[in-house]
Each structure stands twice: as structure tokens, then as C-alpha cells.
Structure 1
Amino acid sequence: MVKLWERSSIAKIALKRGVQLTTSERMAEDIKKLTGGVMLSRNNDFVVFYRGKDFLSTELAEALLERESSMKSLQDEEQARLNAKLSFTSSTEAFIESTVAGTLGETLEANSKYGNELDGNHVDKMTRTVEAAKHADLVRELEWKLALAEKRIAKAERVLGKVETALNPTEDTKPPETITDEERFMFRKLGLRMKAFLLLGRRGVFDGTIENMHLHWKYRELVKILVKAKSFADVKRTALSLEVESGGILVSVDKVSKGYAIVVFRGKDYKRPSMLRPRNLLSKRKALARSIELQRMEALSRHIGKLNRRVNQLRSELVQVEDAKGQGDEELYAKLDSAYSSEDEDVEDEDDEAYLRSFDNPIVRATVDENETAIADSESSYSNDDDSAEDNGDCDEDEVNGVEYSDYDDDEDCEPAVISAGDFQRNLYSGCSDGDRLPRRRG
């Protein structure tokens, strides 16, 4: 009834008939005594009670009681303070004589007897001590950030290994199909002129990429794939992976205005597979997770290198501070003042296990090593050229793995150079030397 009275001012009670030793009059009197309400009407079936004008809800009653108790405690505290004040009596006659305690005269007298004047050397010494302490604190802070970054990169490696459990690259065991020089020339020229293309993004090669290649090959023999990669080594690895996973023939890899163009021929004996999406590659979601973890690892590696250089520099400067004690090296201390960073990095520690469980999949298979044996020799011969391509944003290779690489300002007006089919296949799977490069030709 109290809960009902909180929503309505009137409560209506239904009486059950046939209950022995009970009457509506007796029940109404008992309810009136227990609740304190006002009975408005009564019959054999219903009893109606009014809550009254002085009714208070439970929340309001608790608030009033709490307020009353707090006011009572304040009143008791004030009364105790007044009683304590009345218990003390002040007497001004005992303090007629003046004293020098706490006055300026006492301070000057104490300084003349016991004080030591601070000269310039003492101030310089204290400044050096403070600067050295700040420098040591900065070194400890950077070491803590370095340890945290190493912990994060270890976590990224664990997550990457968990994601790559479903990655099982195809082993290139069948002999590669060959095409003639004229066919390679025409396929490359037609592929670069094609308007339809596939854009390979940050996910790299996954099952959806191979499916789109087979869908392109349903209506045409060639497929052009545009890749926006930072280094030429990534483009080369992507091109060979596309060739192996799709079963096609890699025609060319060219530097174009939009990045790198990879042209793949479907083959003369092409048969569309029954399953367009291979089961051995990552899904779209896991490919994105793998890309994020690789990007995180790269950024953390650069961050750790920067912190290591900063810590080593600060430690060497700290040694110089210890050696320069008493010599007054003002230039060194000015350098230390400028070494402190004003930016604070917020650090949040996430739950590793919860993050790792987000990639669990019951159909994930065991991880196997990636098939890099076909391009192991070509990787070593082009390591120097890949570094220069990554630094300058361009690549100077004219022929890598039997595929010609050249720069084109216009994709439609290009005259590619031609190499023999035998040289292409031999260089593609066995690598080539620095002296086997062809001159670049511009369209």
C-alpha cells in the first residue's frame, strides 16, 4: 500500500470471499492501524483507503532524516565549541611586558650570529645539483617509456602470430607456364591500357583479392592490379604472391603515376575453379587485423629506436655533468635545460588476453612457413635498390625477376622493352645480378 500511495493518493483493496474467520470490518481496522491511512469506504468486496495529507514517500523520508541528523550533529558541534570557549578566561595583565620573539630584530640578530651569507659559488653549485637531478629523472622516465614500448611490441607480436594461424600460403610446385616475347609485349601493353583494374589496399593479398581476379578473368584474359606500397620489395612480394595464389602468369610490374601496376595473365589453359575464395588465405577481417598489427610493430620499432638514441644521449650528457662539476660549464647546462620535453604521453595498459581472444576462430588451421624460397635469391640481389626506392619514393630497377620495371608518366602512351621468355623465367625464380638491368624507356 505504501508503494501504491507513492504513485496514487488512494489505494483500493479487493477482499477474497469465502475465507473463514475473517470479516471486512476487522481487516479494515487492522490495515488502518498498520498504515495510518484514512478509510473512505468499505463493503464486502472492496476497502478504499486515503493516504492522508501528511504522507511522505520513502526517499523523501530518508532525505529528511539524513538532513535532520546532519543538522543535529552541527548543532552539537557548535554547542561544544561554545562550552569550550566559556571554559577559558583571558587575562591581559600577564602580557604587559614586550618580547622580541618572532620580530624582525630577533631575525637580524640570529642571522648576524649564526647565518651564512650565500655567495655566487654556492648558488651555482645548487643550480648544478638541481639540473643533474632533473636530468636523472628524465633518463628514468625515458627508460620506463622504453620498457613500456618493448612490452607493447611483444604484445603485437603475439597478436600477429595468433592472426596468422589461418594463413597457409600455397607452395609453388607446378612448373611455370611460359609465354613468348610477342605475347608478353602485347599483354603488357594491353594491361597498362586497361581501364578496369583492382586496387590492392592495406589488407594486402587475401581471399577476396583472388576472388576478384577470377571474376575479372571471366570476361577478359588480363587483370591489372594497382598497388600503393612504400617500398619496391613489398610490390615484388605481392606480385609473386598473386601469381602463385591465383595460378596465373605474372606479365609485368610497372611504376605508374598511381603507384605500381601489376599485370597478370590468366593462362592459356585457364579453368575457373569451383571455389573462388581460397581457404588457405586470410579473410577480410583478419587481413585488416594483420595489417594493423604490422603497422603497430613498425611504429613501435621506430619509437624504440628513437627512445634508445635519446637515452644514450642523455646518459652521455649526465656523465659530462659529473665531469663538469666545479668548472662552471654554462653551455652544457643551457643544453640540459633545452633537453626536457614539455609533452606528456598518456599511457593506457589494455587487457592482453581479452584482446587476443578477439581473434579466436574454431576453423583456424596451424601456421606454416611462408613460401619465400622462389624469391630468396632475387631478394638479396635487390636489397640495395629496394632501400633507395623506399627513401626516394621511386625505383630505379629496370628488370627484376624477369619482369621489366619502368616509369611512365602516361599509362596509355608507353613502349615497354622486350626480353626473351627464357630470360624472364630464369630471372624470375633464380634472381638476377646488378649487371643484367635493361635501360628504362619512357612513353
Structure 2
Amino acid sequence: MTNASVGVKANGETVRFSLNKQCDGNRLLMEEKKGTKIVKMSKKAKRNELRFYRLKAKKKINSPNPEVRIKYKLEKAKRKEAWLIENLTKFELTKAPAEAYDPEILTDEERHYLKRTDEKKKNYVQVGRRGIFGGAVLNMHLHWKKHETVKVVSKPCEPGKIHEYAEVLAQLSKGIVIDINPSNTIIFYRGKNY
């Protein structure tokens, strides 16, 4: 058995390994030594052969020598990788084009109108002491379901950090900064195509 050649056949979702055998579809076929006559294996013979492979693998897994165990795991991983790559080549996926960022251009009149309407509203989203987290962005999107603009308040803000918050929030929420007030409030517009 040391000179035996190993054959691999992947068919759909099943992978078949064979020693000195040819795999043909769902049948395991074995060549006789006398001639080129091909004999089907019985269910019992198949079961015994699979049992033999399982016992052989179990011996390698439970081996006291760590080198044998690692080699077996590497062989198994390589077989699995080859099988997965073979299956992946069957599927041709087209790459989706990257989303082009299309910022909306607002006129000065629109900016002024949105700024005035948002200043009258009492609703706001708070940025906490720890800075910007996903909760602030989520609250902005929830607010934008019913309103065009949202006011973001960051009370414990260091001087000059409000502009950094505005840039980061605009990038994360994909909103448009309309105004940054000195009282640490930022007004965002959701966009026309929201």
C-alpha cells in the first residue's frame, strides 16, 4: 500500500478519494489485475473500504507523535482547499462596480432655508463623552425617516474638535453638513435621494 496512488474526484457536492481506483460518476470502479475488465464494488466492500480509511485517519489523529497529527491536518486542509477552489471555479461572478459618491450640490438659498427650519426644531441627536459611535449614526438615520435635517449636539466637546466630528459624521452617515454652530451643534441634511 505504500506505492498506492491517490485519486480525487469532486462531483457536485461530494468528493471521492480512491487508492489505485478510478472514480466514475457515483460508482467506485476497480480494475482487475488479470485484464481490463471493470468490476463494481459491492455495498459491503465499499463500507469496509470506508471503514479502513476512517480507521487509518483516526490512527493519525490520535497518534502520540504531534508531527504525524499536524501532517494529517495539513493534508486534509490542502485537500479541502483544492476541492473548494475547484468548486469556486465553476461560478463566474462579475465584480460589482464601486459606488460612486455623488454629493448633492445645494444652493445658498437652500442651505439658508434648511438651516432656519432646523434651528426652529427641538429634536436633536447627542454625541456622548466617548465620541462618535454607531449609535449616533443610527439615531441620525432614524431621525431622517421623518425629517430632512438633523441637529447633532456634542456638549462635552473640546474647542476645534467639532469640525472633526462633522467630517467623521458626514463620512459615516453620508449626509451633507449644512452648518456648524459655535454652540457645538452641527446641522446635517439627508439628501434628496434618501
TM-score by length of 1: 0.21
More strand by share: 2
Higher RCO (CA < 8 A, seq sep 6+): 1
More helix by share: 1
Larger Rg, first or second structure (1 or 2): 1
TM-score by length of 2: 0.46
